[in-house]
Structure 1
């Protein structure tokens, strides 16, 4: 637990530095992933939880009929997101809170979709966070993850491992494996029903994990 706490504190410091410039750097790079994630989440239902809301880059992409709750570990990022809500009148965003993804302060079965936009690779214990996502998800709901998700193969895999320490210093991760998410899903009552490549040229991916209903057949599309 001490290591997790130290990692969280390090991330808070990183995001305090990044908050003022984050939008200028990442808005265009992540836009396709953000739009895809928001569209898929809205297709799963009205009540949406976004984990790692950051400066709120995804918030405007959700349909106005949605009821969106956002959390982030960084109060500086949350402050920027609140400015966006006021400036752009994003009234479908119901609340933003500083919260740890490992311990969500929500009741069981509270949301139709839980989104993790480009944050899963930065969470110290991602499987534990996904367990929390599952807990607050309603039957038939979906977890939508957007991230840099590789398979670790070949030259690209070697490069990802080599630059991993540098990536962590700027608040990113380059070596997180897609199989880590699908393995978690297979051990729980979830199916990976879709994996979509997004800009740039499939470098990022969006994966849909759907909670399995009783007697439902597995449907894995890649």
Structure 2
């Protein structure tokens, strides 16, 4: 099973123009690959939940010494399959399936969505959001009331200090009539910090807060 996945990953990286190593015996990674300025150290696992913290520390040390980017390739997490074009994180290291790897390095399509506690999240362009909001003469409170979140949350989106749930980002784009979701630069940074999706009770409180702020 792992052998087949290793072969598939090697094939994708070769097609993408990487110089790819044979299977490594290092405990922390299975493959090393290089294309121009990009060097990858890949740990390949059927289930990414089997990736351990001590292995994560080890691959991070190796990546630091080699000026490389650590990455985990897998097919499942727990009892579910890894979704296409979604980036997962294990101990700060990006984890993805072979389809996402292919799209990114062969097709040149960067992923937009990452998985975190609470669901699926995206990064948004805070400057573009602020510009679109001000052009429409919407206050922070106006947008917050439409989204059902607090005005402080909307302010954080514009400051670029937080990611947001996919459904909120799509609603923002609908309200402001502008594209806001930006690609993930997952090789250069650890997982962003999302504003977690609110539960029903907390969401209701946020709506009430937003309406009160809008009236102020």
- TM-score band, normalised by the shorter chain? under 0.3
Which structure is richer in relative contact order (CA contacts within 8 A, separation 6 or more)? 1
Larger Rg, first or second structure (1 or 2): 2
When normalised by structure 1's length, the TM-score is 0.27
When normalised by structure 2's length, the TM-score is 0.27
